[in-house]
Amino acid sequence: MFRLNLSTRPFYNERAVHLVLALLAIVIVVVSVFNVREVVRLSSRQTTLRAGIAADDAKAADLRQRAGTLRAQLRTEDLERVLVAAHEANQLIERRTFSWTELFNHLEATLPAGVMLTAVSPQVDDDGMKVGLGVLGRKVEDVEDFIVRLERTGVFSEMLSQSETPEESGLVRVRIQGRYHPGQARQPAPGGPAPRPQAGAARGRR
Amino acid sequence: MTLRRVVTDKRPILLPLLLLAVANLGAYLLGVAPLRVRVATAEQRAQDAANEVRVAAAQFEQARATVEGRSRATEQLQRFYDTVLPPGQAAARRLTYFGLARLASDAGLHVTRRTQSVEYDRDSTLARLDMSMVLEGRYENVREFLYDVETASDFVVITDVVLTRGQEESEALVLTLGLSTYFHAGRDR
């Protein structure tokens, strides 16, 4: 077949050109819509954030002011006085609730035959409870045995014989100091957890 | 050659499209992009503001807890002074002088000597009434007396216990006891 175009301005493919132009127009419309939506969304977000910031700033300022008012009510001297008084009251209550019966039960359970208990003085300090014991022993070995037995209970620790003085009677007077931890017995003290005085308990066995 | 013809032929359509494209580019560069930066900055600022609120709330809670703690402690201290401790020196004296003597007698101990003194500490609101008691009796009676004192409702603290043997061949022990009770000093000073 033979084709011939005799026109002075040759035809071109208009359909393809129209297609390209249509695609270009669609792209431009999509981009325009995107831009408009972004402006609206971002503006709205900015407005919301600004309102939130203003509210948070006001709330923080209010809280700081209320905290300042509360702190102004608290005079340091008053607070310290209450703290000192509370500490003092707690120490008194701790000393009041100290169980001499439990302590004596432990001492009786560990006192060897050659040792007699002569003095007991517990003291509450910041680390717990110290206890001072005065004993009369036949021999230093008996007192040493007493100290070992005390520590073995788990209730006494850091026991130290502070002074030893021989008596005219031949006995040795010893001052023992150490720490006392009520309620930490490896074996319950005779008399149980809420001990009563033991009936007929041995006093200083000599 | 053909492209120039197409552009020339389609200029009425191409020109508006080109203008729209340029306008979009301008809107993005001058509007959307700076707005994005401003929103990101505002988000950071909002985060900081929220943190400041949290810090301020914690400070307020701490101050409130301190005030409440002080009020509670003051109230409990007052209750301790009013209901647990003797209400004054006279009550403290009665408690140690008569109350302990009765407990000793009930336990079968014989009181041989007593001393009392009141100590005021400048740094404390409490005054201390110290009592020293010398008692005689059997060991079992001593234990019973100590148990009675520590389980009594009165606020008496045993501070020292000293045991000595009485006369030879006797079962009696001499118990020297240090005791203290406390009262609110403001009421008697």
Burial letters A175-189, b for 16+ CB under 10 A, else e: bbbbebebeebeeeb
How close is the nearest chain B Cα to the Cα of A187, in Å?
22
> B65: helix, coil or strand?
helix
Contacts of B35 in chain A (CB under 8 A): 38-39, 42-43, 46
Contacts of A46 in chain B (CB under 8 A): 35, 38-39, 42
Cβ of B45 and A38 within 8 Å?
no
Q: Report which listed range, A164-168, A199-203, B41-45, is most confident.
A: B41-45
Cβ of B140 and A60 within 8 Å?
no
Cβ of A21 and B17 within 8 Å?
yes
Cβ of A42 and B35 within 8 Å?
yes
Ordered strands of the A128-137 beta sheet = A156-166, A172-180, A128-137, A115-125, B157-165, B173-184, B126-137, B110-120
How close is the nearest chain A Cα to the Cα of B1, in Å?
11
Q: Are A112 and A142 in contact (CB under 8 A)?
A: yes
Q: In the 3-class helix/strand/coil scheme, how is B151-171 assigned residue by residue?
A: HCCCCCEEEEEEEEECCCCCC
Give the pLDDT band of residue B23 (cuts 50, 70, 90): very high
Contacts of B130 in chain A (CB under 8 A): none
Q: Which of B72, B101, B76, B81 has the alpha carbon at shortest distance from B155? A: B81
Give the pLDDT band of residue A74 (cuts 50, 70, 90): confident
Q: What's the pLDDT tens digit per position in B66-123? A: 899 889 999 999 999 999 999 889 999 988 888 899 999 999 999 999 999 999 888 8
Query: Which H or E run includes B32?
Result: none
Closest residue in chain B to residue A82, using alpha carbons only:
B74
Q: What's the pLDDT tens digit per position in A100-139? A: 899 999 999 999 998 999 888 888 777 788 999 999 999 8
pLDDT of residue A183: 75
Give the pLDDT band of residue A187 (cuts 50, 70, 90): low
pTM: 0.66
User: Most A CBs within 10 Å: which of B60, B85, B126, B140, as the mutation test of the A interface?
Assistant: B60
pLDDT of residue A191: 43
Size of interface A-B (CB pairs under 8 A): 179
Q: What's the pLDDT tens digit per position in A46-57? A: 999 999 999 999
Summarize the confidence of residues B46-56 as an average pLDDT: 96
Q: Which residue in the set A73, A119, A201 is minimally distant from B143, CB to CB? A: A201
Residue B170 has pLDDT above 80, yes or no: no
pLDDT of residue B189: 52
> A183: helix, coil or strand?
coil
Contacts of A24 in chain B (CB under 8 A): 17
Q: Are A174 and A125 in contact (CB under 8 A)?
A: no
User: What integer best gives the mean pLDDT of chain A?
Assistant: 85
Give the pLDDT band of residue B129 (cuts 50, 70, 90): very high
User: Most B CBs within 10 Å: which of A32, A43, A63, as the mutation test of the B interface?
Assistant: A63
Of the candidate ranges A22-36, A70-84, B114-128, B140-154, the one whose mean pLDDT is the lowest:
A70-84
Q: Which of B156, B161, B100 has the alpha carbon at shortest distance from B128? A: B156
Contacts of B55 in chain A (CB under 8 A): 60
The string of DSSP codes covering A65-134 is: HHHHHHHHH--HHHHHHHHHHHHHHHHHHHHHT--HHHHHHHHHHH--TTEEEEEEEEEEETTEEEEEEE
Residue A194 has pLDDT above 70, yes or no: no
pLDDT of residue B51: 97
Burial of A6 from C-beta contacts in 10 A (0-12 / 13-18 / 19+) = exposed
